[in-house]
A and B are shown apart, each in its own frame.
Chain A
Amino acid sequence: MITTVNAQQRSGSSPMAQSPRSPSSQAPYLTVSVSDPAKMGNGVQAYISYKVITKSNLPEYDGPEKIVIRRYSDFVWLRDRLFEKYKGVFIPPLPEKSTVEKFRFSAEFIEMRRQALDVFVNRIASHHELRQSDDLRTFLQVDEQTMERARSMEIGIFKKKPADLMQIFKDVQSKVSDVVLGKEKPVDESNPEYEKLKNYIFQLEDHLAEAQKHAYRLVKRHRELGLSLSEFGKAVKLLGDCEGNALGKAFSELGAKSEILSIKLQREAQHLLMNFEEPLKDYVRAVQSIKATIAERANAFRHHCELAETIKFKEIDMNKLRLMRSEKLAEAEREYEELKADGAEATRKFERIVKLMNEEIIRFQEQKTLDLGVAFHEFAKGQAELAKGISEAWQSLLPKLESCSS
């Protein structure tokens, strides 16, 4: 049983469940890391490849260590397959595909993406259901050509254009659960607890998106203030150079301090981006993944209801045929049995989704409280430290400036 690793889920390093130095009859482990982004190809065909390192003693895996090369679309393939197979589970989210060309290969973007992909794979490897997936094994183990073949055969829900995806989410919000199959019958579970959860999820997404938008602006403002302070410092130093004596020296120091503080501000901007805004974004994606699961549950429920109705009609039909002693009765009875089997299967699928979701919700709530708490703690800490550094820097200048103005 692999321990869920909380703090390490964001660290971007391989989680160590047990000590690798234990004897070979040790507990099973599966640790993964995504590293070493490298630009491949040229021009519009260019992409980034990543090294995916798997350390495992699970029998299905080539252990103890295997390294494969993967690209972003391989991760997308894995996410899509898991979404198809594990309905009810909140599939860990992927970072967005960036469409802005010049940003696609910037160091900052590549590093943020690498971290997010590492977190993604690790969450799967830590999930007691998902880590047993064959597709995960394929992803972690097969050579690059096999992977490419698997990827090009994919025809899942996420091949739809993003607009369609949004439409699915919107319909869930409006309780029409059947967009995938193109039907329009609104069916709702009348489960007040579940309604509450859905409302909570939709509200949470809106508010997180707002908070993330403004967190991003804060990053920008820190950078801008830092830049202005640096230019100001340079100008003041020049001013100090053409003054003599105590005043000139005071100016030079003020200019030098301004430049130091400019660097602190730029660093804090970077810290805010990586340790606060990115976790918020990750959170928004996680909530969107939950919405996709909500859509799946609605589909399963509708399917189950439709079959139940069809079965009822079939019973009525059969009773009619029985009364008329029709020779079509046997065939109808056979179809009826098939329908009942389908109905039982649909019900089983739906109930399984409900069961899984209930477990998932608990895990989500716990994890979320921790993650958001950490992110906001990082925020307040970073801001407090920055402000302290700034305050000290300016205060250290006051005695000198006081003597110039008295």
Chain B
Amino acid sequence: MITTINEQQKSGSALLVGSPRSPSSQSPYLMVSVSDPAKMGNGVQAYISYKVTTKTNFPEYDGPEKIVIRRYSDFVWLRDRLFEKYKGVFIPPLPEKNTVEKFRFGAEFIEMRRQALDVFVNRVALHHELQQSEDLRIFLQADEQTMERARSQETGIFLKKPADLMQIFKGVQSKVSDVVLGKEKPAEESDPEYEKLKNYIFQLEDHLAEAQKHAHRLVKRHRELGQSLSDFGKAVKLLGNCEENPLGNAFSDLGTKSEILSTKLQREAHHLLMNFEEPLKDYIRAVQSIKATIAERANAFRQNCELAEAIKFKEIDMNKLRITRSEKLGEAQHEYEELKADGAEATRRFEKIVKLMNEEIIRFQEQKTLDMGLAFHEFAKGQADLANGIACAWRSLLPKLEACSS
């Protein structure tokens, strides 16, 4: 049983569960890291490849260590397969595919993506259901050609255009649960607790998106203020050079301080980006993944209901055929048994999703409280430290300036 690790989920380094120095009859471990992004190919075909390192003592895995090369679409393949097979589980989210060409190979973007992919894989490896997935093993172990072949065979839900995906989400929001199959019969659970959860999820997504948008603007404003302060500092230094002392001296000091503070502001902008805005974005993706699971649950419910209805109609048919002693009765009975088996299967699937979701919701709530608390703590701390540094810098100049103005 692998312990859930909170703070390390975001650190981007390999997870250490149990000590790797323990004897070989140790508890099972599966540690993954995504590292060493490298640009491959040229022009429009160019892409980034990542080194995926797996350390494990699982019998199914080639241990103790294996390194494979993977690209973004391989991660997408894994996410899609898990989404298909583990309905009810909140599949960890992936960072978005970036469509702006010039930004695609920026150092900051590549590093943020690498971190997000590392977090993704680790969340999968830590999840007690998902870590047992065969597809995970293929992703972590297969050679590159096998991986490529697997990837090109994928025909899952996510191969739909993003527009279709949004439609699915919207459909869930408007409680029409049958957009995927193109039918329009509203069949929804009348579970007030579940309704409450759905409303909460939709509201949360809106509010997170707003907060993230404004967090991004704050990053920008810090950079702009820093730039202006730097320009100002240079101008003041020039002013100081043409004055005599002590005024000239005071100006030079003020100019120098401005440039130092400009650097602090740029650093804080970067800190806000990595330790606050990015976690908010990750959060939004997680909530969107939950919405996809909500859609799956709605599908399973609808299917369950439809089969239940079909079975009822079949019963009525069969009774009619029994009364008329038709020779079609045998066939009808045979079909009826099949329907009942399908119905039982659909019910089982739906109930499994409900059970899994209930566990997932609890995990999600706990994890979220921690993650959000951490992100906002980072925010307040970074801002407090920055402001403190700024206050000290300006205060240290006051005695000199007071001497010039008295």
A228 touches B377 (CB 8 A): no
A404 touches B377 (CB 8 A): yes
Say yes or no: is B150 at the interface (Cβ < 8 Å to chain A). Answer: no
A377 touches B217 (CB 8 A): no
- Assess A242 versus B207: contact at CB under 8 Å? Given A222-B225, A232-B217, A247-B369: yes
Residues on B with beta carbons closer than 8 Å to the beta carbon of A394: 380-381, 383-384, 387
Interface bin, chain A:
35 or more
Say yes or no: is B208 at the interface (Cβ < 8 Å to chain A). Answer: yes
A381 touches B398 (CB 8 A): yes
Say yes or no: is B218 at the interface (Cβ < 8 Å to chain A). Answer: yes
- Assess A217 versus B387: contact at CB under 8 Å? Given A210-B238, A239-B208, A405-B373: no
Residues on B with beta carbons closer than 8 Å to the beta carbon of A228: 214, 217-218, 220-221
Say yes or no: is A390 at the interface (Cβ < 8 Å to chain B). Answer: yes
Closest CB-CB distance, A275 to chain B, in whole Å? Answer: 12
A211 touches B236 (CB 8 A): yes
A208 touches B395 (CB 8 A): no
Partner of B225, one of A221, A380, A405: A221
Residues on A with beta carbons closer than 8 Å to the beta carbon of B215: 232
Residues on B with beta carbons closer than 8 Å to the beta carbon of A203: 242
Which chain B residues in 336-394 approach chain A with CB under 8 Å?
A: 369-370, 372-374, 376-377, 379-381, 383-384, 387-388, 390-391, 394
Considering the chains assembled together, what is the distance between the CA atoms of A222 and B220 in angstroms?
A: 13
Residues on B with beta carbons closer than 8 Å to the beta carbon of A380: 254, 394-395, 397-398, 401
A215 touches B232 (CB 8 A): yes
B377 touches A401 (CB 8 A): yes
Partner of A207, one of B225, B229, B242, B372: B242
A250 touches B376 (CB 8 A): yes
Say yes or no: is A138 at the interface (Cβ < 8 Å to chain B). Answer: no
Residues on A with beta carbons closer than 8 Å to the beta carbon of B217: 228, 231-232
Among residues of B, the one whose C-beta sits closest to the C-beta of A224 is: B221
B380 touches A372 (CB 8 A): no
Say yes or no: is A369 at the interface (Cβ < 8 Å to chain B). Answer: yes
Which chain A residues in 327-375 approach chain B with CB under 8 Å?
A: 369-370, 372-374
Which chain B residues in 222-238 approach chain A with CB under 8 Å?
A: 222, 224-225, 228-229, 231-232, 235-236, 238
- Assess A210 versus B247: contact at CB under 8 Å? Given A232-B211, A391-B384: no
Considering the chains assembled together, what is the distance between the CA atoms of A232 and B272 in angstroms?
A: 13
Considering the chains assembled together, what is the distance between the CA atoms of A404 and B232 in angstroms?
A: 40
Residues on A with beta carbons closer than 8 Å to the beta carbon of B214: 228, 231-232, 235
Task: Give how many A-B residue pairs fall within 8 Å (CB-CB).
Answer: 167
Residues on B with beta carbons closer than 8 Å to the beta carbon of A383: 390, 394
Considering the chains assembled together, what is the distance between the CA atoms of A207 and B381 in angstroms?
A: 38
Say yes or no: is A238 at the interface (Cβ < 8 Å to chain B). Answer: yes
Closest CB-CB distance, A242 to chain B, in whole Å? Answer: 5
Residues on A with beta carbons closer than 8 Å to the beta carbon of B369: 247, 404
Say yes or no: is B73 at the interface (Cβ < 8 Å to chain A). Answer: no
Residues on A with beta carbons closer than 8 Å to the beta carbon of B235: 207, 210-211, 213-214
Residues on B with beta carbons closer than 8 Å to the beta carbon of A214: 228, 231-232, 235
Say yes or no: is A218 at the interface (Cβ < 8 Å to chain B). Answer: yes
Residues on B with beta carbons closer than 8 Å to the beta carbon of A391: 384, 387-388, 391
Partner of B228, one of A200, A221, A387, A390: A221
Closest CB-CB distance, B375 to chain A, in whole Å? Answer: 8
A405 touches B231 (CB 8 A): no
List of 10 A-B pairs having minimum Cβ-Cβ separation, nearest first = A404-B373, A373-B405, A405-B373, A373-B404, A391-B387, A387-B391, A394-B384, A384-B394, A387-B390, A232-B214
Q: List 9 A-B contacts (CB under 8 A).
A: A214-B232, A217-B232, A232-B218, A239-B210, A372-B404, A377-B401, A384-B391, A391-B391, A398-B380
Interface residues of B (CB under 8 A from A): 200, 203-204, 207-208, 210-211, 213-215, 217-218, 220-222, 224-225, 228-229, 231-232, 235-236, 238-239, 242-243, 247, 250-251, 254, 369-370, 372-374, 376-377, 379-381, 383-384, 387-388, 390-391, 394-395, 397-398, 401-402, 404-406
Q: A221-B224, A228-B217, A251-B376 are in contact. List 15 more A-B contacts (CB 8 A).
A: A207-B238, A211-B232, A211-B239, A214-B231, A218-B232, A235-B214, A239-B210, A242-B200, A247-B369, A372-B404, A373-B405, A377-B404, A380-B395, A390-B387, A404-B377
